[in-house]
Amino acid sequence: PITPGELLCLGSSLAFSGLFYYMYRKKAKVVARIQEAPKLQVDDDLPALVSVAEGRCLPYVALEGIVLPAQAALTSHYHEGLQGVIQKLLLKEHRLIWNSLARSW
């Protein structure tokens, strides 16, 4: 005989397993899209390619080439001699709307 507590544990275990599998598959699709991203060179043709793209944006691309940091290059704590730069930081502010019921923005 199976007790109600065992059924509850089994049901919650199955529910959590399903949720985590769904999240895993969703992230696996994103990783696959990133790995299949076209590799482009940083050269004079890149601005023209971006300007003809839909929405003037390339969703997933890997840029290859030499870039110069604006200030200091970022160095890796784990791999000696490995450096990187942050090309652009985008901050998007959303419009706030006053909610009179909750009396908050």
pLDDT of residue 8: 96
| Distance separating alpha carbons of residues 12 and 20, to the nearest angstrom | 12
| Distance separating alpha carbons of residues 35 and 85, to the nearest angstrom | 21
Q: Domain coordinates of the chain in residue numbers?
A: 1-36, 37-87
pLDDT of residue 89: 62
Per the DSSP assignment, residues forming a β-bridge with 84 are 74
Please answer whether residues 4 and 11 qualify as being in contact, where contact means their C-beta atoms are separated by less than 8 angstroms: no
pLDDT of residue 91: 66
pLDDT of residue 79: 87
Tens-place pLDDT, residues 78-104:
988 888 887 666 667 667 777 788 777
Instruction: Decide if pLDDT at 67 tops 70.
Output: yes
First to last CA, the chain: 55
Q: Name the H helices within the chain.
A: 4-35, 46-52
Per the DSSP assignment, residues forming a β-bridge with 104 are 99
Tens-place pLDDT, residues 39-55:
888 888 888 888 898 88
Tens-place pLDDT, residues 7-65:
999 999 999 999 999 999 999 998 998 888 888 888 888 888 888 988 888 877 888 88
